[in-house]
Chains A and B, each alone.
Chain A
């Protein structure tokens, strides 16, 4: 019948009134990113990093700045390890290519500052990020697992905020 298409449409739209809204109320209902979420706030382990700069070479935009200094024992001390998040497009190539698993993606996504230079994270901050993503680091993909142990596995111990339970013990 003529007009049935329009009536059908009207009824379908009416049917949706009762459904639970699909949108999430963002600040209150925080999204739980999946284990492999590629976000900002990179994590970095100074113990594992050898300063080979593979990550810096892999970065398509050249966000990573590394300055090393040779040590007498044949290794390098890392003087500067900066990531310019303002240029970063979170492609994850730096994390993938790292041969020593020293670099980690983060799980943050809201990134707003007043100055562009605040977006550059330095060696001191980057080692102490609490939430690391499991992108290319399978041990981190299970968010329920105890984080401290996983960090110890990966040698990301420096400056990591201790879980609340441990703090109480201490």
Chain B
């Protein structure tokens, strides 16, 4: 928003390299601030929302309604002694928390919050975003391996297996979008959605797959097996404390925000609101959608138990992968036939429901509607 204004005002007066530096710096600062503020806000939102779902009050001591609680937490965590356990690989151990913070940060740099408001507005931003999503696994493995702890190593191994599995349906679910729009630029996708309707209606199957696979990359329940606090205590960051731990902690939340922002850009029309409500600035809508999606993630976390490792893998390979392939074929066929948008939406919605229901049947006993076991049997001989 500021950058176009800068370009418009000083564009002729300043040399190109200076202009690029200034706009880049402003964008970077904006993204950094947004990421950190979001991470802090996320902690408060999640704790408050989950506690209300659990009939508790949640944080309400520090500041009004506990709003300052994240700051108090941050101060506390940063103030803790940074313990480096014996036998760790010091370089890798120290580097991991900083690298892990990069992935959500860079993702935010690519997300267009308003028309032309992405810091880095390249033509292949979709590809970059997907690549950055997979970047998160490297520091997790670094942390898990360097910590010299079996639990963290187990968490790291689980994380790699999971991310590799879920990256495939994640990417494949986006192919349908690219087929339709013919562009790898996130902004083009949003513009297409504003013109033709949101992708959550046009390609609901892709939306479901992306949501599930995206949440699997966030290490949050029901797919937080790499962290699994009831099994692995804390997983890959078990040996971290102090500031380094706070980076892991903040990353978890900003990563959720990054994925929420991506989903709203890819499937919920980005800054677009449809024909109504164009008075409110575009960026507000974008942020609103992101926060709402974050609340959905919190909601699932408060409800669902964790899946086991093999079940999670089976879900990715047996359920998400074939469905995403079918989705690509169907979308390509529709594009070839040149069907009108409303027909595509209806066909795809029906297809999504039918496919999901039928495919879970194929998966075997897990998909069957459960049988009720009988527990009360009257004794044959009366007492």
Contact = CB atoms under 8 A, between A and B. Distances in A.
Do A and B touch (CB < 8 Å)? Answer: yes
Interface of A: 1-3, 5-6, 9-10, 12-14, 16-17, 19-23, 25
B65 to A, nearest CB: 13
Given A10-B299, A13-B302, A21 B55 contact: yes
B308 interface: no
Interface of B: 49, 51-57, 60, 299-300, 302-304, 356-357, 360-361, 367, 369-370
Contact of A21 (B52, B303, B370): B52
A2 B357 contact: yes
B15 to A, nearest CB: 55
Nearest to B296: A10
A6 B370 CA distance: 13
Given A16-B55, A19-B55, 6 more contacts: A2-B361, A3-B356, A9-B304, A17-B49, A21-B52, A21-B55
B54 to A, nearest CB: 7
Contact of B52 (A1, A6, A17): A17
B contacts with A: majority SS: helix
The 9 closest A-B pairs by CB, nearest first: A2-B360, A13-B303, A22-B55, A21-B57, A9-B303, A13-B53, A17-B52, A23-B56, A10-B303
B57 A6 contact: no
Contacts of A2: 356-357, 360-361, 367, 369
Contact of B56 (A12, A13, A14, A21): A21
Nearest to B51: A21
B46 to A, nearest CB: 14
20 contacts: A2-B356, A2-B360, A2-B361, A2-B369, A3-B360, A6-B303, A10-B303, A10-B304, A13-B303, A16-B55, A17-B49, A17-B52, A20-B55, A21-B55, A22-B55, A22-B56, A23-B55, A23-B57, A25-B57, A25-B60
Candidate in B54, B357, B370 with the most chain A CB atoms within 10 angstroms: B54
A1 B357 contact: yes
Contacts of A19: 55
B285 to A, nearest CB: 24
Contact of B53 (A5, A14, A20): A14
Nearest to B305: A9
Contacts of B52: 16-17, 21
Nearest to A7: B303
A1 to B, nearest CB: 7
A12 B53 CA distance: 9
B53 A16 contact: yes
Nearest to B61: A25
A159 to B, nearest CB: 38
Nearest to A25: B57
A16 B304 contact: no
User: B51, B55, B304, B370 — which one has the most chain A CB atoms within 10 A of its CB?
Assistant: B55
A51 B164 CA distance: 78
Contacts of B53: 13-14, 16-17
Contact of B304 (A6, A14, A21, A22): A6
B54 A16 contact: yes
Contacts of B361: 2
A13 to B, nearest CB: 5
Contacts of B360: 2-3
Contacts of B367: 2
